[in-house]
Amino acid sequence: MHIVSLIARPEALDAALVSALRNALGGGDITWLSNGEAAEFPVEIAPADLDALRASIADQADLNLLPATGRRKKMLLADMDSTMIQQECIDELADEAGVGARVKDITARAMNGELDFEGALIERVSLLRDLPDSVIDRVLATRITLMPGAPLLLSTMKASGAYAALVSGGFTAFTSKIADLVGFDETRANTLIASGGRLTGEVAHPILGREAKVQALEEITAQLGISEADVIAVGDGANDLGMLTRAGMGVALHAKPSVQAQCGLRVNHGDLTALLYLQGYSKAEFA
């Protein structure tokens, strides 16, 4: 048995569309997790061409296929940049350093898997050399905003006993603030090196990239005594694919095309509360 999940922007999910899909797929009773936003129904046989079905309604809703059992996860493993927050921190720092356009281009190519992540990070950080380290606090205060739904995702999962880890290829100066703000239990990230009140243009080694995120998945689940199947992971970039494909639920959130192509669960219309709907939480259950 499988669950067909449909998620749209608030008040944008058409009941007629949901009913038509249910009928076409021979599904069971429709459950509305949030009126006009999230609905699901069971099917005994998985759709033959999921990608074509998704594409046919892509402008209206996100369609995902899930197992009917084991949906509520015991751990959240999340990327930070463009996932838990709406920005890429290094791009915002680069704007302050006057090299924003150059760095944004490198970031976009690295997140789409066109460049080696470690090499791209070293190159981008080198362009921040001599930037006052006080800029970090200013960027945090004036440029960084949470992704919609982030507090609800964390509070609801933690109210159900889940553990939350923020694992980022970004920087500890940012992850520590975001973790405190929304309630992550632990963080892992890279460290910008500063000396004399200015960034040196260097990042501490070893650099946390794709394999380090997989390592975090392995280590934290072992420490908690749970399996990787008990984890929901979320990210948007190529360096997230390792953890996204290993976790029980790996969700590509507003992700780069190359990432979506390799990830079974995709969210393009919803915000981070979509991760709750994918786990079968109704809006009435949000903490």
Nearest Cα neighbor of 1 from 56, 55, 40, 35 is: 40
Catalytic residue among 62, 79, 91, 240: 79
Q: Among this protein's residues, is 79 annotated catalytic? A: yes
Spatial contact of 189 and 216, defined as CB atoms under 8 Å apart: no
Q: Among this protein's residues, is 81 annotated catalytic? A: yes
User: How big is the CA angle at 234 (ends 204 and 249), to the nearest 5 degrees?
Assistant: 130
d(CA 212, CA 83): 18
Torsion of CA 278, 184, 171, 88, to 10 degrees: 40
d(CA 145, CA 186): 20
d(CA 38, CA 62): 9
Strand order in the sheet with 186-190: 186-190, 163-171, 75-78, 231-235, 249-253, 265-267
Nearest Cα neighbor of 248 from 234, 260, 231 is: 231
**Helical ranges in 185-240 per DSSP H:** 210-224
List beta partners, residue 43. 2
Q: Residue 29: how many CB atoms within 10 A of its CB?
A: 8
Catalytic residue among 14, 59, 62, 81: 81
Q: HSE of 236 in the Cβ direction (CA atoms, 13 Å)? A: 21
Q: What is the set of active-site residues?
A: 79, 81
